[in-house]
């Protein structure tokens, strides 16, 4: 079974692997149902979806009618104004057939103008914390992609009592000195305030050489079992960090197995460097135009 850990200060012990329900977005319902069964059989008790993940929220509907209390349920909104964020949350509740979610998150809050709008009076942050007071959600989080997001998260944490942050993290990104420093600063702030740390892109290899070719994740994942194991181990060796699973459902079993056999040790840095060289693992983000919202 997968290890559990306190999800920040929420009072919930979440599986160290969080199911990234973006994987359900393009599936037929029958395939989605099978995937959800696989996820639950692995011991995962925390689902992370979003209003923008295709049919993901719709596909969760039937399962949630009988199992809502079995999982920590999180979704996301791209709304930046109060009205847009509130409407998005209400639509998510309707799609999933639930009265509330455990956490609503501001999706990819990285651009300066969007950040200012969300945090201003009449913005999304105000609306979502009000929704918590009304019982529509329990916690508010903030997510993001790209090389700028750790610094933006630090700004967000200084403005509001977010329960969780989400950001890219893998051994390739850790080799970028500036990014690694920014993540370390974010981790210090999160641990000091009991903020949960969620990571994405743990098994990312590179962008697809042919972006128009058929694929199940917007990035090409690591598929070789041993490098994949080390990539998962690297994230789980970060104290308090949670790993959000890939949107490529074909690799879920391998990720779950890697997490179940994690021995607590950080992989050998020399071996990780060798993996990067042999597999051609390169950064997905460039700090600018390649930082659009992605699952």
Percent of the chain residues past pLDDT 70, beyond the cut: 95
Q: What is the pLDDT of residue 287?
A: 63
CA distance 236 to 149: 20
183 has pLDDT over 50: yes
Q: What is the pLDDT of residue 39?
A: 98
b/e sequence 260-276, b meaning 16+ C-beta within 10 Å: eebeeeebeeeebeebb
197-215 tens-digit pLDDT: 999 999 999 988 877 776 6
The pair of structure tokens assigned to 215 is 């694929």
Greater confidence, 156 or 292? 156
Beta pairing, strands 13-15 & 101-106: unpaired
Domain-by-domain residue ranges, the chain?
Answer: 4-279
Q: Are 132 and 105 in contact (CB under 8 A)?
A: no
The whole-number average pLDDT for the span 85-111 is: 98
Q: What is the pLDDT of residue 285?
A: 83
268-280 tens-digit pLDDT: 999 999 999 999 9
Q: What is the pLDDT of residue 291?
A: 56
Q: What is the pLDDT of residue 214?
A: 65
Average pLDDT, the chain: 94
Q: What is the pLDDT of residue 187?
A: 98
Q: What is the CATH architecture assignment of 4-279?
A: Alpha-Beta Barrel (3.20)
Q: Are 216 and 252 in contact (CB under 8 A)?
A: no
Number of other CB atoms surrounding residue 237 within 10 Å: 15
Q: What is the pLDDT of residue 292?
A: 52
The whole-number average pLDDT for the span 225-252 is: 96
Q: What is the pLDDT of residue 245?
A: 97
């Amino acid at each position: 079974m997968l290890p559990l850990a306190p999800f920040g200060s929420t009072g919930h012990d979440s599986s160290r692997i969080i199911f990234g329900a973006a994987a359900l977005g393009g599936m037929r319902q029958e395939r989605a149902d099978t995937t959800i069964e696989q996820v639950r059989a692995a011991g995962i008790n925390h689902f992370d979806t979003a209003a923008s993940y295709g049919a993901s929220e719709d596909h969760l509907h039937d399962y949630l009618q009988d199992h809502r209390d079995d999982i920590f349920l999180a979704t996301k909104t791209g709304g930046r104004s109060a009205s847009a964020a509130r409407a998005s949350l209400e639509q998510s509740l309707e799609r999933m057939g639930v009265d509330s979610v455990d956490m609503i998150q501001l999706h990819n809050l990285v651009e300066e103008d969007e950040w200012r709008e969300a945090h201003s009076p009449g913005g999304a942050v105000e609306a979502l914390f009000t929704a918590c007071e009304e019982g529509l959600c329990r916690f508010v989080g903030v997510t993001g992609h790209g090389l700028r997001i750790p610094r933006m998260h630090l700004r967000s944490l200084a403005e509001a009592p977010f329960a969780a942050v989400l950001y890219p993290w893998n051994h390739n990104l850790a080799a970028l000195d500036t990014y690694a420093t920014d993540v370390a600063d974010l981790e210090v702030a999160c641990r000091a305030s009991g903020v949960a740390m969620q990571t994405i892109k743990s098994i990312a290899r590179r962008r697809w050489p042919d972006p128009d070719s058929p694929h199940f994740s917007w990035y090409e994942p690591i598929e070789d079992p041993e490098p994949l194991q080390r990539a998962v181990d690297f994230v789980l060796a970060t104290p308090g960090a949670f790993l959000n699973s890939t949107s490529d459902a074909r690799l879920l079993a391998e990720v779950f197995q890697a997490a179940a056999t994690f021995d607590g040790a950080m992989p050998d840095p020399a071996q990780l460097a060798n993996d990067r060289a042999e597999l051609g693992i390169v950064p997905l983000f460039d700090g600018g135009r390649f930082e659009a919202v992605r699952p």
